[in-house]
Amino acid sequence: MHDGVLPKRKGILFVISGPSGVGKGTLKDTLLKQQIDIQYSVSATTRPPRPGEVHGEHYFFLSKDTFCQLVEQGEFLEWALVYDHYYGTPRSFVLENLQKGQDVLLEIDIQGARQIRHQFPEGVFIFIAPPDVQELARRLRKRGKDSIEAIEKRLSSYAEEMAQLQHYDYLVVNDRVEAAAEKLVAIMVAERCRVTRLIRGEDNETAFDK
């Protein structure tokens, strides 16, 4: 800080992640409706659209060949094979917004969050957990988007995914959507007020700047 003038901070990368079916998408939608001044980064995927999903709004739906070409060109900040389909985060959108001082929200799987953490440890990583595995199973069946085989595959990964909690900054249990969303907002407000982010944003480079 110089001459008593508050420096302009760089944007903060907020990453929400957790087991499949925990309600990350619903939480993300609830959060964005609260007008908290954050840009949502739309992910790319090779899985087919589910009913009601719109290209460019929910995901960028790509063929496997196109996705792999973008991987080779370095166009993804992170990418992973999750339950037989590829998912990735477009690089340029995230970097451009962070440099402008705009906060960015990623809603991604645990594999993707691990990659982001290695590249950008200054990000804020929030683990979304269900109350218990029984409730997770109920939600997966209720949403009616997956086959029995797919649900069993997701549930079999539950213990391994929960073991990743130790690598996150915050835990939010999604027992009620409204309450969980309030906790996410509180985390974001607190992180924006961190003095170290103001100092770091002014004086230091991040891994993305190099």
**Residues of each annotated binding site:** 18-25
Structure tokens at 203: 């004086």
CA 182, CA 19: separation in Å to the nearest integer? 20
Q: Count CB-CB contacts under 10 A for residue 100.
A: 11
Please provide the DSSP assignment of 104-154 as one string: EEEE--HHHHHHHHHH-TTSEEEEEE-S-HHHHHHHHHHHT-S-HHHHHHH
E strand intervals along the chain = 13-17, 39-40, 44-45, 60-61, 76-82, 85-90, 104-107, 124-129, 170-173
β-pair partners for 81 = 86
Structure tokens at 104: 């960015």
Could you list the residues known to form a binding site for ATP, using ranges.
18-25
